[in-house]
Amino acid sequence: MKLKILNTLSFKMLVLVVFVATTSMILPAKNRLKTVVLDAGHGGKDPGAGNGMEKKYALDITLELGKKIEANYPDVKVIYTRDSDVFVPLHERAAIANRNKADLFISIHCNANPHSKSLRGTETYVMGLHKTQENLDLAKAENNVILYEDNYKKSYKGFNPNSPLAHIMLANYQNAFMSQSLDFAAKVEKNMAKQGHSSRGVKQAGFIVIWETTMPSVLVETGYLTNATDKALLGSDSGREKIATAIYKAFKEYKTDFEK
């Protein structure tokens, strides 16, 4: 009799073990946002827009954003493509993210428009075909930095940053993470507005740096250095802090949704 109870018990245990093992194989592992790559645009011999203002402000905002993520999410690995004033080729920035199997890539820049001093506000870009000449011109200007690289023709397989057609072809490579990139981009722009910055919305264009990454990726233009209001905002500690806060809040919301 005792033996029978024991047998029944061990059978139940066996069923339980098999059940747990099977379901854990069938059910996908819970999504975790474990690694984020923060990419401060330009640096070193590449000054960016506004005679070096862009490379400086982009780095300040990036480091501030990283500090916030590190302080609030010690389990998230924050990787910087640069944390000082050095030159890093575009393909290397993407490679850093790919090598580290990042879950999210955020490239941070400042905008400039040679034709208008009144244009102001933030724009968050995902890969895709530009809808306006301005968006194309911006992607061309940002991609032009590959000319600072010694072997750019080899590194980018003959990509000509001055050719509009090359940008159209680039933009047509659809990223598998388009919907997640769009989701994060929308969260960035919403939070920029909440922080009192002027949001110009989510946009699309062919940027080399987010084309080469293999995870959800955005490029944030944090304001126009050619506009007096934006320039003052980007030039002040409190302004850059607001921008870093907006991107941090977007990160927080995205991480929460991602891990649901």
Could you list the residues that contact Zn ion (CB under 5 A)? 41, 48, 109, 142
Q: How far is 229 from 149, CA to CA, in rounded Å?
A: 33
Q: How many residues does the chain have?
A: 260
Find the shortest distance in angstroms from Cβ 52 to Zn ion: 12
Least distance from Zn ion to the Cβ atom of residue 46, Å:
9
Contact 254, 183 (CB under 8 A): yes
Comparing CB distances to Zn ion, the nearer of 8 and 162 is 162
| Widest Cα–Cα separation across the chain | 92
Of 39 and 142, nearer to Zn ion (C-beta) is 142
Task: Using DSSP, state whether 129 is helix, strand or coil.
Answer: coil
**What residues have CB less than 8 Å from 91, skipping those under 6 apart?**
155, 156, 208, 212
Dist CA 205 CA 134 (whole Å): 10
Of 110 and 202, nearer to Zn ion (C-beta) is: 110
Closest distance to Zn ion from the beta carbon of 138 (Å): 9
CB 126 within 8 A of CB 204: yes
Q: Which residue is nearest to Zn ion (CB)?
A: 109
Comparing CB distances to Zn ion, the nearer of 60 and 142 is 142
CB of 125 to Zn ion, least distance (A): 11
Least Cβ distance, residue 147 to Zn ion (angstroms) = 14
Report the alpha-carbon distance of residue 72 to residue 65 in Å, rounded. 11
Q: What are phi and psi of 27, to 5 degrees?
A: -75, 135
Q: Which is nearer to Zn ion, 52 or 164 (CB)?
A: 52
